């Protein structure tokens, strides 16, 4: 099959199906939640902030949010894309809360 279709005798690209993005965004959102639990457990256990896992959590959740947002118009897996957006919004909100709440302490240290 060709990736081009004819509209009014003009060749235009077909719309790509967004199902792969929906599945990947859901997997990323689950990985983001797992790494968030890892960060919270490691921080409570070691009494220090785990910066690299925190960035990994941020990467997974932002990726899930972006891919879920792009694939929410998918015909087949719209619910999965919405679930990925919802699941990844919770860790992103917690990350935003942690960053905002630690900014005054960081400013005072400087």
Say how many residues make up the chain: 110
Cα gap 54→33, rounded to integer Å: 11
Structure-block tokens of residue 105: 């302490």
Q: How far is CA 25 from the centre of its chain?
A: 6
Residues 31-62 as b or e (16 or more Cβ within 10 Å = b) = bbbebbeebbeeeeeeeeebeebbebbbebbb
| Predicted pLDDT at 6 | 57
Would you write out the chain's pLDDT as a tens digit for each of its 110 residues? Answer: 455 555 566 664 555 667 788 899 999 999 999 998 888 887 666 656 677 888 889 999 999 999 999 888 877 888 899 999 999 999 999 888 988 888 888 788 87
So what's the pLDDT on residue 16?
A: 63
Question: Residue 4: what pLDDT?
Answer: 55
Domain coordinates in residue numbering, the chain:
17-109
> Which residue reads 């990323």 in tokens?
28
């Amino acid at each position: 099959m060709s990736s081009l279709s004819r509209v009014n005798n003009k060749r235009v690209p077909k719309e790509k199906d967004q199902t792969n993005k929906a599945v990947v965004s859901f997997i990323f959102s689950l990985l983001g939640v797992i790494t968030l639990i890892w960060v919270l457990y490691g921080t409570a256990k070691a009494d220090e902030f785990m910066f690299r896992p925190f960035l990994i959590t941020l990467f997974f959740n932002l990726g899930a949010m972006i891919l879920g947002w792009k694939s929410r118009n998918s015909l087949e897996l719209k619910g999965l894309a919405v679930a990925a957006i919802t699941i990844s919004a919770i860790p992103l909100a917690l990350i935003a809360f942690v960053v905002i709440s630690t900014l005054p302490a960081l400013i005072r240290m400087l």
